[in-house]
Amino acid sequence: MTETNELKTTQMTSKFKFIAVWAMLIAFFSACENEDKIADSKAFIKVVDASGAVLSGIPVQVFDEKTYELFEKDNRTEPLSYVRTDKNGAAVYDVQYASWFTSSRSRQITFVVQNGVGDTNYEIWAVGRTFNPGKNVEIVIQLKDIE
């Protein structure tokens, strides 16, 4: 081989190594970004009536997977928490990482508005969503006319 060919081969090898190192670094940092965040989430809840008008002062019950299952069988089941809508019909529930995501990276949380309790003469409006760490979720609970 001539000196020129050896120089070209050396330059190509150096470029290949440079590109390979950059590709590995990019892959490494991309993988780091895909890991679950250790961050709180928020549920932005809005409660409206059948016509879409906002409802203030409405208590919204908060259930996880297990407690909602119990609530479906007995609507007297105590929720994990409550929030109440403000004058704009909105409420914010903080889904704290330490409370919700230490055992699972994905949680089903159900928000319930209830009118009445017992075996008869009650109405329930429920919306469930999947929550992940650091992800906020918007929820609208529309109360249909009571029958």
Structure confidence by residue, pLDDT tens digits, 33-45: 545 568 999 999 9
Whether residue 133 is contained in a domain is answered as yes
Same domain membership, residue 45 and residue 29: no
pLDDT in tens, 28-81: 666 555 455 689 999 999 999 999 999 999 999 999 999 999 999 999 999 999
The domain total for the chain is 2
Q: Whose structure tokens read 């909602």? A: 68
Q: Do 28 and 50 fall within a single domain?
A: no
Rounded to the nearest integer, the mean pLDDT of the chain is 85
Contact 76, 117 (CB under 8 A): yes
Going by DSSP bridges, is the β-strand pair 123-131/107-115 parallel, antiparallel, or unpaired?
A: antiparallel
Q: Which domain holds residue 10?
A: 1-35
Question: For the segment 97-145, what is each residue's pLDDT rounded down to a tens digit?
Answer: 999 998 888 999 999 999 888 777 789 999 999 999 999 999 999 998 7
| One-letter identity of residue 107 | R
Indicate whether 147 belongs to any domain.
Answer: no
Q: Are residues 3 and 45 in the same domain?
A: no
In this structure, the number of other CB atoms found within 10 A of the CB of residue 91 comes to 22
Radius of gyration of the chain (CA): 26
Q: Residue 110: count other Cβ atoms within 10 Å of its Cβ.
A: 20
Q: CA-CA distance, 26 to 7, in Å (whole number)?
A: 29
